[in-house]
Chains A and B, each alone.
Chain A
Amino acid sequence: MNEIEFHAVGKVADLEEEEVMEIKAGGEEICIYNVEGEFFATHAICTHEDIGLADGFVEGDLIECPLHAACFEIKTGKAVNPPAETDLKTYPVKVDGDSIYVGVKK
């Protein structure tokens, strides 16, 4: 049951550096990020309030929520500053050729 299944979620060319994009994979809402050419994935919703992080902005390896400016580390999901007090869930990412894959537990 805990097996991770990778889903193709987009093309490398579709996600520029320091950009974020919301996708759905395995029934979960997920944000994928390009940090200096590397791709990462977190849960798409801020842990403070029900707001999509895809409307937020990426600076370096942080994503900032557009509503209350809570920041999270993209690579670890760690909540960096208030009002967020709970970390974001992260997902494994693989790049194969020009495709990005995100792993979600089955």
Chain B
Amino acid sequence: MSKSHTFIIVGASQAGGWVAKTLRKEGFDGKILLIGEEPYLPYERPPLSKDALLGKTDLESTFFWQPESYKDDDIDVLLNTRVIEIKRDTQSIICANGDVLNYDKLALTTGARVRCISIPGADLLGVHYLRNMDDTLAIRKSAEKKDTAIIIGGGWIGLECAATLDLLGCKPIVVEASQRLCGRAVTPNISNWMLSFHLNKGVDVRLNMGVERLEGDKFLQKAVLSDGTEISCSIAVVGIGVTPNVELAADSGLEVDNGIVVDDLSRTSDPNIFAAGDVANHPNQTLGRRIRLESWENAMNQGINAGKAMLDKGEAYNEIPWFWSDQFDANIQMIGLPTEWDETVIRGNKSENEFVEFYLKNKLIVGAISINSTRDLRFGKRLMQAEKKVQATQLANTDIKMQSLLKV
């Protein structure tokens, strides 16, 4: 790659930042341009529903890299800039302000946006979503009232928000349409644990329940649930999932199917265009299927994968998915995304909120969820990577160190 080459990254996100950093680290000496719509440098999203919402961390400390780090690496960052079109025939992109920029290679790390709810009153002041730093700041402002907060959706974001709003002195009521919490992500056992955990913390949880409408005069004042219950409230947070930002890719004719379709080198259907992070639908060999992951680890590792692949140094991407969530004093972590298993093993003490639930198929770990037991989970991931067969009785026996199972 010569100095005259220009690589552009659309999406100043975690994945986008890692693409840029990786290009430099791997020796690319051309021009790197990182473009983002938001006014901020790439920042960590996990704190948005936790420490940033609590006010325990400031904006700068959520940045992956400080401004001087981009200068040191000669990465040009263009913020507050929306890209509206990719012209693949001329290898250029068009920005909303009319600027046309040429690329030799392009990475799309456009992420995802929140799915919006379409009920009456959804546009009242006090009704929030949580995806960006500005969302967090707005919720934090609303939370100053320490009022009842309706949380629409009992998934990760909803539950994390409920916990944090409770800590901020609000009274959260989680309203979930399905019969269990985090139903798309965890097993029924863990959903049940989550429910009792939150109930014990004093969070009001309503399952099998919808929100019919929100009412108020400019400001939110009341939520009406699907069973007719009326709840006086001034805060609502909607967490009903996200939609990948595929429009740029789709409009330019790239293959799109629940995300931008890429191979295990993060390549889209155009050899000069790559995609990574929440927006990329990629193959996962371990899971034996295509997936699109909305996770911290994937945003980093796939960004790195794309950066290397843009320099023809790619290595097949095959990570065991890993997620975490913090809710009150519970650190919840997951590995794998098992669809079927024949044994469930609990290691640790469920009643003390310190355990791992392992899912085995033919004696192989295919996934696990831990509550306040990170170490055991991480060793479980090693066992999974190594495809080591394990006996359920050994896994359940806390007198046997997880390390020792790796050595058998």
Show the binding face of A for B, using Cβ within 8 Å: 18, 55-59, 64, 66, 68-69, 82-83
A64 to B381, CA, bound (A): 13
CB B353 to nearest CB in A, in angstroms, measures 17
Residues of A within 8 A of B296 (CB): 68
The chain B residue sitting closest to A48, CB to CB, is B64
Tell me whether A59 and B382 are in contact (CB under 8 A). Answer: yes
- Cβ of B284 within 8 Å of any chain A Cβ, yes or no, is no
Stretch of B146-154, B235-243, B358-366, B372-380 on the interface side: B372-380
Residues of B within 8 A of A59 (CB): 379, 382, 403, 406
A56 to B297, CA, bound (A): 17
Residues of A within 8 A of B379 (CB): 57, 59
Tally B residues with Cβ within 8 Å of A: 16
Residue of B64, B297, B403 near A69 (CB, 8 A) is: B297
A56 to B375, CA, bound (A): 7
0 or 1 for each of B276-309: is its CB under 8 Å from A? (1 = yes): 0000000000000000000011001100100000
Residues of A within 8 A of B129 (CB): none
Tell me whether A82 and B382 are in contact (CB under 8 A). Answer: no
Tell me whether B300 and A82 are in contact (CB under 8 A). Answer: yes
In the A-B complex, the 6 residue pairs with the smallest Cβ-Cβ separation, listed nearest first, are A57-B375, A66-B374, A18-B403, A57-B378, A82-B300, A83-B300
CB B399 to nearest CB in A, in angstroms, measures 13
A5 to B300, CA, bound (A): 40
The chain B residue sitting closest to A18, CB to CB, is B403
Interface centre among A58, A64, A66, A82 (most CB of B within 10 A): A82
**Additional A-B contact list (12), CB under 8 Å, known A57-B379, A58-B403, A82-B300:** A18-B401, A18-B403, A59-B379, A59-B403, A59-B406, A66-B378, A68-B296, A68-B297, A69-B322, A82-B18, A82-B304, A83-B300
Residues of A within 8 A of B18 (CB): 82
Residues of A within 8 A of B378 (CB): 57, 64, 66, 69
17 contacts between A and B (CB under 8 A): A56-B375, A57-B375, A57-B378, A58-B403, A59-B379, A59-B382, A59-B403, A64-B378, A66-B374, A66-B375, A66-B378, A68-B296, A69-B297, A69-B322, A82-B18, A82-B300, A82-B301
CB B374 to nearest CB in A, in angstroms, measures 5
Residues of B within 8 A of A58 (CB): 403
Interface centre among B18, B64, B300, B406 (most CB of A within 10 A): B300
Contacting residues of chain B (22-46) with chain A, CB-CB under 8 angstroms: none
Instruction: Say whether chain B's binding surface is mostly helix, strand, loop, or mixed.
Output: helix
0 or 1 for each of B137-170: is its CB under 8 Å from A? (1 = yes): 0000000000000000000000000000000000
Residues of A within 8 A of B401 (CB): 18
The chain A residue sitting closest to B403, CB to CB, is A18
A76 to B396, CA, bound (A): 35
CB A88 to nearest CB in B, in angstroms, measures 18
Residues of A within 8 A of B322 (CB): 69
CB B218 to nearest CB in A, in angstroms, measures 41
A58 to B401, CA, bound (A): 12
The chain B residue sitting closest to A66, CB to CB, is B374
CB B73 to nearest CB in A, in angstroms, measures 11
A66 to B373, CA, bound (A): 10
CB B293 to nearest CB in A, in angstroms, measures 15
0 or 1 for each of B63-75: is its CB under 8 Å from A? (1 = yes): 0100000000000
CB A61 to nearest CB in B, in angstroms, measures 13
A82 to B297, CA, bound (A): 10
Residues of B within 8 A of A56 (CB): 375
Contacting residues of chain B (303-354) with chain A, CB-CB under 8 angstroms: 304, 322
A68 to B44, CA, bound (A): 12
A82 to B60, CA, bound (A): 20
A82 to B401, CA, bound (A): 27
A56 to B379, CA, bound (A): 11
CB A70 to nearest CB in B, in angstroms, measures 10
A97 to B3, CA, bound (A): 60
The chain A residue sitting closest to B18, CB to CB, is A82
A64 to B403, CA, bound (A): 13
The chain B residue sitting closest to A17, CB to CB, is B403
